[in-house]
Structure 1
Amino acid sequence: MITNKEIEEIRKYLDKAENPLFFYDDDPDGLSSYLLLKTLNDKGKGLPIKSSPKLDELYIRKIKEYSPDYVFVLDKPIITQEFVNKVNTKIIWIDHHPVVKINGVKYYNPRKENPNDNRPTSYWCYKIANDKLWVAMCGIVGDWYVPEFLNEFIKLYPGLAKKSNDAAKLLFETKLGTLVKVFAFVLKGKVSDVKRNVAILSKIKSPYEILEQTTPKGKFIYRYYEKINKTFEKMLHEAKKHATKSKILVYTYPSSKHSLTGILSNQLLYTYPNKVIIIGRVKDDKVLMSIRSKKHNVLKILETALKSVDGYGGGHDHACGAGVNKEDFETFVEEFKKVLNTN
């Protein structure tokens, strides 16, 4: 766990920061984490990290552009040492992926104490902020975790969720699940669209503003969600055509479409719980993937399969992200199948 002492340390860093820069993962967990910490410090800038699980030297230009006094990194599984070495300011990293060794950062991760404690980053950011429960729930349940305060959420926000220990049921059978999709979809589109969406979302006080479109801000966010959801539903329909008797469902799509690999893989896993799901977005000379399974430890399989190709990846035991060269994708899938069949 992240201790109360550590939570207080993070609060102090937030209080001291006059021009913070927040890097966060571009999924509901990352976005929720940023919005929660923003309640304690509404200064500085927030930037979602797209297309890669890594925060690397490519983002040094953002450090130079904004000249932050503190850098907060939220829900990113990898920060390269090269990035850290070139940043001359304090870095506070809050994460819940497998622990890595790195120098020069204040690293907060529940797995440092207990390798099995992978409560989402938004869970810990809610403990830090102690505000906006509905925002926290979007990130926590969006990362397939059911927190102990679900009943409190149900009481405060009637009609949005039900009592359940199954995150999948909350994601795909409740209005809370719709909100999770809203959080995912506002991060899609041009950089200017995403900045505007996040700025608007940060000012919304109640989830009903969005779901019932009771305010102009809520209506704007919901309509943006509907636009992206049309593309999502078409892609979901196409992906289902690739479901065969094989243990693995593999589907790729071109980068001209929105990056929806994560939410597509989650939906398909719910539809096909006995399959391993590999969804890839072809971008330039790379295939960027989301990999899911209920039954298999896909992280271990991924680590072995990557030894045969030029690529990278990381994440959780049952949910990973990865990237390989386009020319190596078929080889990667075949290696993945071989390792899967030996388990």
Structure 2
Amino acid sequence: MITLKQIHKLIEKSENPLIFYDDDPDGLVSYLLVKKHFDKGNGVAVKGKPMLGTDYLLSVDKYNPDLVIVLDKPIIEQDFVDKVNVPIIWIDHHPIVEIKGVKYYNPRFKDKNDNRCVSHWCYQLTKENMWLAAIGIISDYQKPSFVKTFIKKYPELLKEFKNQKEAMFNTNVGKLIKIFGYSLKGFTKDVNKNIEILSKVKDPNDLLQGRTENTKLLLNRIEKVKKEYDKLLEKAVEENKGKKMVVFVYPSGKYSFSGELSNELMYKFPGKVILVGRRKEGKVMMSLRAPEEKRIKLPPILEKALTGVEGYGGGHDYAVGASIIEDDFDQFFSVIKAEVLK
């Protein structure tokens, strides 16, 4: 496994790195930490699926990088690696996969249970912009190693907490996490404008309160995204009152909110397993969550549910994603429900 020190040297030497990152707050924060520290590189958010595949070779051709960096993606297709003719650095925290031709950093090589998120490791790599790192780490339901220092420096953003869900949904850090998430929604050109603004923010309160022209512009731009999300959240809550398992499947629209909805529904329905799905082009793309305190580990349940259906999925013990064809959804869901409620 490559070390963070070696990664730092490689990025320093690079003149034109290309950075692929997952399209969630952890991925975005990881990218911004690297971008702001090294002051170079083009960024591409990998949307809609857990893998970085050959369809993203167009970005490699477009930017002609001398180094490719991949942040917070669970899978890279071997075919993608084989067709990229420059070094590839992969920083991730999902279960280790076998792959050739990449410089791979994953804490699980040393400890299979160490799933500290990529924002944590990019902060260890760069050692600056603590407020950014806190957003990424807390968004991934983890507690920053520097949390006491952060609270002392930014008491208006976060106070001592025991429950990760409280930090996510009942603090100003939680509001910042939502701003980062909303900024990733929409057309690529709009997302790129949002991220350009985020890359220049130096004080989180400027972003939270819209104290500059650029942050005010960003908050206005994402307001319509927030309204769409709030509408879906209200519908999901109403439909699942009194149910043993929270299930919400919605038609595809302009934005995808499955991950965000599943996280917030966990807060609103404590102790329940959550399944949120989005129907699009004959498929159902899902985000599933399970309460850690009940020790319902999702990967073996997901593996069983995927048997005999057309689709794929994977993730962490208590948070997974999956995509199956719509015709197989009833069969898939019947297995999930039986396993969860038995």
Superposition TM-score tier, normalisation by shorter sequence: over 0.9
In 2, the alpha carbon distance for the partners of 1:273 and 1:227 equals 28
| C-alpha RMSD of matched pairs (Å) | 1.4
Q: 2:203 aligns with which of 194, 197, 206?
A: 206
Q: Distance in 2 between matches of 1:279 and 1:49?
A: 20
Partner residue, 1:321: 321
Q: 1:31 aligns with which of 4, 13, 28?
A: 28
Structure 2 unmatched runs, 5+: none
Inter-partner Cα distance in structure 2 for 1:161 and 1:137: 10
Displacement of 1:227 in angstroms is: 2.3
Moved over 6 A (4+): none
The match for 1:74 is 71
Question: In the alignment, does 2:191 pair up with 1:194?
Answer: yes
> Which of 267, 270, 284 is residue 287 of structure 1 equivalent to?
284
Deviations 1:300-325 (A, max 9, x none): 21122111211111111111111111
Once the 2 structures are TM-superposed, how far is the Cα of residue 246 of structure 1 from its aligned partner?
4.3
Are the aligned partners of 2:35 and 2:41 in contact in 1 as well (CA < 8 Å)? no
Map residues 239-318 of structure 1 onto 2, 5 A cutoff. Answer: 239-243=236-240, 245-294=242-291, 295=294, 296-318=296-318
Matches within 5 A, 1:7-86: 7-86=4-83
Contact 2:247 2:276 in 1 (8 A): yes
Q: How does 1:129-148 map to 2 (within 5 A)?
A: 129-148=126-145
- 1:86-101 maps to which residues of 2 (within 5 A)? 86-101=83-98
Render the CA deviation track for 1:135-171: whole Å, top value 9, x for unaligned.
1111000000012211111121121101113221111
Specify which of 125, 128, 132 is matched with residue 125 of structure 2.
128
Secondary structure of the structure 2 residue equivalent to 1:23 = strand
Distance in 1 separating the partners of 2:239 and 2:156: 35
2:116 is the counterpart of 1:119: yes
What is the rounded CA distance, in whole Å, between the counterparts of 2:16 and 2:338 in structure 1?
50
Task: Tell me if structure 1 keeps the 8 A contact 2:66–2:87.
Answer: yes
Q: Please state if 1:105 is matched with 2:102.
A: yes
8 Å Cα contact 1:273/1:293 also seen in 2: no
In 2, are the aligned partners of 1:39 and 1:131 still within 8 Å (CA)? no
TM-score by length of 2: 0.96
Aligned letter for 2:188? Answer: V
CA deviation map 1:49-73 (0-9, x unaligned) = 1110011111122212222111100
User: What is the aligned partner in structure 2 of residue 181 from structure 1?
Assistant: 178
Is contact 1:146–1:166 with CA below 8 Å preserved after alignment?
Answer: no
Q: Could you say what secondary structure the match of 2:20 adopts?
A: strand
SS in 1 for 2:3: helix
Shift of 1:83: 1.4
Pairwise CA distance, 1:222: 2.1
User: Aligned partners of 1:153 and 1:223: how far apart in 2?
Assistant: 28
Unaligned 5+ segments in structure 1 are none
What CA deviation, in whole Å up to 9, does each residue of 1:215-244 have, x standing for no partner? 112212222333211111100011113315
Q: Following the alignment from structure 1 to structure 2, what is the Cα–Cα distance between the partners of residues 50 and 229?
A: 19
Aligned partner letter, 2:116: R
Query: Structure 2 counterpart of 1:149, which letter?
Result: F
Give the aligned length.
339
Please tell me whether the aligned partners of residues 154 and 160 of structure 1 are also in contact (alpha carbons under 8 angstroms).
yes
Residue 308 of structure 1: SS of its match in structure 2? Answer: coil
1:237 maps onto 2:219 in alignment: no
TM-score (norm 1): 0.95
Question: What amino acid sits opposite 1:316 in the alignment?
Answer: H
1:227 to 224, 228, 240: 224
Counterpart residue type for residue 322 of structure 1:
A
For residues 77 and 9 of structure 1, the distance between their equivalents in structure 2, rounded to whole angstroms, comes to 22
